[in-house]
Structure 1
């Protein structure tokens, strides 16, 4: 970017335009995953939708590369682009809750923690992820699943409107009646169609939830996972539990005798009557008494922040995912093998339930193409040491390659790794891909928004 363009952008925008010469640049180009090391020509911190519109006009007019940053959690590092412009929405962190209508409208740079904090005093929440530092934008556009999914569906099932800056620099509203094709595509189609400057969500009565953690030694993976695959799909929708392979963290509530031990377990969330948690998770003793069991009521935002300290920004991450409609005996064998060989204390595998309320949406209601999936799995190699980056990637890829034949073929789009081929995007959208490509052609024919898990505009006949 030449200096004339840089100064013109600074004159037109209210928010700062940060270049490599500026002292804030190092921080501005830092994202959650420390494995990402990219050098934008400028990071544009947009203060409002008008800034976003001006930034898009400049980028398009100068023929520059464009990336969009919401919360900065993209595991693949898609919120940064070398020698281009990152449109950074982080200053746009605001939440307006309407408790009477049970809705919330949030800015494009809002985090899950911001939304949970603002909604909790009204006894409200909406399904989202499991780390409060995650950006609402990227999570929502990919689909969104977490502790409330079995009870209230995916995040996109609760999106009721979005304000979007398009590739031509204009701003539109998308909902069920206005720009309905765009609204359909936004609900799972990723960042392909524009920059969402605000999201409006349907909220649900969620206040204090029951939280439980049950852990078993690593050699119990076959029994525990066999029980879990049969138990959870039949459990009440008020009970959500994701299966995890992990190393027991060295701190409370985990007792010292299991610190550093490789284990498997389930993290439970109960949204039913407060006195129902114990009976809901009582079945967890079926595969044998857990080595560790913890259960307590807690405010929903406390559950959402439970893992924040364990997984702060600045770690090395490499991840890949799969959808599953069943957990086969052969897959259980793969999980047991790679749980035994967890390469670092933070590396993990999660199986998130995406059934229950998420199955009540029709297969074509949103761009999310796996309404028949029962679990969304992610394998994540994680470590603070850059020298371990190769090892955690190798473990993750080996695990994924052995497990993938037992999957449904696609994955949650936010779990696609940085170096996976384009056919993974097609597999993730199944027969929705061509419809998404047509929407892309209508709203972004030149593919300005391509620094993402990209859907190319369908060619004109």
Structure 2
């Protein structure tokens, strides 16, 4: 934040007075658990952790950090694989106690506190047959997901999570609290929808809800030797898919440890039964060994992924955007599945189309609005295992997909060092996003999340890595 030396002792004194035992220092009871993330590969040592309960406390913590020259990070859901919620020697603004969810069913919107997860929100909206656009994992924080994008099973019908952000309460770096929306701080509202946690601390989000009593969804899995045919057939299905149908695909470990290729349709039309012909078309891609498709509440759709990402394992992610699933990309994915180094590792393809693709390219900061697939390469290993071969598998897979990929990549998944791809990810929105950064965070306080580097000048346009 400045070149002055951090004054941790003064910051601790000031924050302890306001927060009491909700200020955690190394050695305090609860500190070890509070700095433990889902990805156990992350090993950071923040100097202070402030467990805030409202926007006023967040504002106080920001003012103390500024006065005491402490670098900052913000922990909401804490599901960023790179561990950017924690910062060595810094002050962590921990929002995990801020999980209130207030539903206004007649207005078809819900107000969600900054630390709330998808599970928290669906627990409130579900009894009213209402949903919000989420990712595929219930434990992910809604703020981090929404600010950078939010691919999920409702993408085709309702867009990305960020497309459903009606407004946000934000505490800026100087401690000021503002409400961003179409009618007030509209430029901040634009930047928040895709620009990530680079402009302030979002302490509340106002999200659009959608009526959805049930979805037709579930896992269909096929043997690995059918993977190429299944993926080519999947390509044909998603080319025809209506908005109501969003289909995830990829590779997961089967009961015996060998990877299986999967497709995961989610049909969310007014009549779930209208999705059965699409399910039958997907079933016919091969000889299913698992078939779990059924009508179910949306919360149950996401529960089917609860066991996939286990707290305490070590994770490394790589990502690519594919404009089409070309035969060469199919071959690269199948080869990667055959070479997979861990029964916990996964390849996932997220389907972007429909309502999400009809949002104007400049209407939000999110940079890619053409139909595409988001590929997640998720290397996972147990603590104590040598990480080298798992990392090499992820890097090799990403490199094999690169010749077939679009420029840039999903900023929420890019590695901290991939700043060149970040710039390409935002496309024509990059310069406007940089101006918003200078306007709302001119001192670069929010620099722990490097999707928008705070100090380097904008590079000239030109080609770059995929």
TM-score bracket, shorter-length normalisation: over 0.9
1:13 partner SS:
helix
Task: Report the counterpart of residue 258 of structure 2 in structure 1.
Answer: 261
1:227 Cα deviation from its structure 2 partner: 1.1
Per the alignment, in what secondary structure is the counterpart of residue 62 of structure 2?
A: helix
- 1:80 — aligned with what? 86
- The alignment yields a C-alpha RMSD, in angstroms, of 1.7
1:149–1:160 distance in 2 versus 1, CA, 3 Å = same
Match of 2:303 in 1: 305
Question: What 5-or-longer segments of structure 1 have no aligned partner?
Answer: 251-258
Q: Which moved more, 1:189-198 or 1:311-320?
A: 311-320
CA 375–177 in structure 1, closer or farther in 2 if over 3 Å, else same: same
1:367 maps to what in 2? 365
Name the SS of the counterpart of 2:232 in structure 1. helix
Is residue 57 from structure 1 mapped to residue 59 from structure 2 by the alignment?
no
CA distance in 2, matches of 1:383, 1:373: 32
In 2, are the aligned partners of 1:69 and 1:79 still within 8 Å (CA)?
yes
Deviation at 1:288? Answer: 2.6
For the residues of structure 2 that align with 1:397 and 1:404, how far apart are their CA atoms? 10
Distance change (3 Å), C-alpha of 1:147 and 1:15: farther
What TM-score do you get using the length of structure 2 for normalisation? 0.93
Q: Indicate the residue corresponding to 1:331 in structure 2.
A: 329
Which residue of structure 2 lines up, in the alignment, with residue 254 of structure 1?
A: none
- 1:411 is matched with which residue? 409
Q: How far 1:219 moved relative to its partner?
A: 1.8
- Aligned residue in 1 for 2:228: 222
Report deviation, 1:199: 0.1
Deviation at 1:244, TM superposition (A): 1.2
Q: Which moved more, 1:16-25 or 1:2-11?
A: 2-11
Work out the CA distance in 2 between the residues paired with 1:261 and 1:459: 45
- SS in structure 1 at match of 2:170: strand
Equivalent position SS for 2:328 = helix
Q: How far apart are 1:434 and its partner, in Å?
A: 1.1
Task: Give the counterpart of 1:425 among 416, 422, 425.
Answer: 422
Further displaced range: 213-222 or 342-351? 213-222
The 3 A distance-change label for structure 1 pair 112 and 339 is same
Q: Secondary structure at the match of 2:246?
A: strand
SS at match of 1:188: helix
Q: Which runs of 5+ in 2 are unaligned?
A: 1-6, 459-466
TM-score by length of 1: 0.94
Query: Residues 15 and 47 of structure 1 are in contact (CA less than 8 Å); yes or no, is this contact kept in structure 2?
Result: no
Which residue does 2:378 correspond to in 1?
Answer: 380
Deviations 1:20-72 (A, max 9, x none): 02021111111111110000001111010001000111111111110000001
Q: Deviations over 1:179-218 (max 9, x none)?
A: 1111100001011101000000111011221122211111
Structure 1 position 280, deviation (Å): 2.1
Kindly report structure 1 stretches of 4+ aligned residues shifted beyond 4 Å. Answer: 457-461
Contact 2:419 2:453 in 1 (8 A): no
Report SS of the residue matched to 2:292: strand
CA distance in 2, matches of 1:373, 1:434: 23
Q: Is the 8 Å Cα contact of residues 14 and 51 (structure 1) preserved in structure 2? A: no
Aligned to 2:391: 393
Aligned to 1:253: none
Over 3 Å counting, the alpha-carbon distance change for 1:150 and 1:100 in structure 2 is: same
- Give the deviation of 1:457 after TM superposition: 4.5
User: In structure 2, which of residues 182, 189, 205 is the aligned counterpart of residue 199 of structure 1?
Assistant: 205
Name 1:452's counterpart in structure 2: 449
Matches of 2:292 and 2:8 in 1, distance apart? 58
Give the whole-Å Cα distance in 2 for the aligned partners of 1:62 and 1:123. 48
Shift of the 285–64 alpha-carbon distance from structure 1 to 2, 3 Å rule, reads same
Change in Cα spacing, 1:164 to 1:344, as seen in structure 2 (3 Å) is same
Question: Which secondary structure state, in structure 2, belongs to the residue aligned with residue 352 of structure 1?
Answer: strand
Shift of 1:9: 1.1
Asked if residue 318 in structure 1 is aligned to residue 316 in structure 2, the reply is yes
- Matched with 1:133 is 139
